[in-house]
Amino acid sequence: MRQTRRKYIEFEDDDHGDVVRYHRHPNGNGLVETTAQVDPTAYVDASAYVDPGAVVHGGARIEAGGWVDRHALVGTGATVGSGAHLGRGAVLGRGASLGPRAKVGAHARIGSGVRIEADQVVAQEAVIGELPGRRGSNDVGVAA
């Protein structure tokens, strides 16, 4: 039995000066911080980042230069386009997509199937599209 060591890449956090540790995601080779949760079926491009506490569901795509900020959530089958940024604590619903270079502010919510076009900016705490109710499934692709 051969044991392999996981390689990490460390960066200093701009907010507090703490060191954060990233590993390469097996599907795309992108950088995923150790406390982030990325489904193995999600694609994270080699030049993309998923920051601490973020969650990326199955079948999602984080394209070249895409950035999923701290505690953000990417729903099942959603896409963060090349150079796009999903802000802190923001939600990108099931099957939704951010076009290239789109920017989503902190704690904004993008509902299921919504398309944000290239270069568009979504304000902090904005709500676009329908949001989940308390029963049934929600817009990120997990049971409520």
pLDDT tens figures, 10-69: 777 666 677 889 999 999 999 999 999 999 999 999 999 999 999 999 999 999 999 999
The pTM assigned to this predicted structure is 0.85
pLDDT in tens, 13-22: 666 677 889 9
**What is the rounded CA–CA span in Å between residue 18 and residue 15?**
8
Q: Tally helices (H) and strands (E) across the chain.
A: 0, 19
Topology, domain 9-127: UDP N-Acetylglucosamine Acyltransferase; domain 1 (2.160.10)
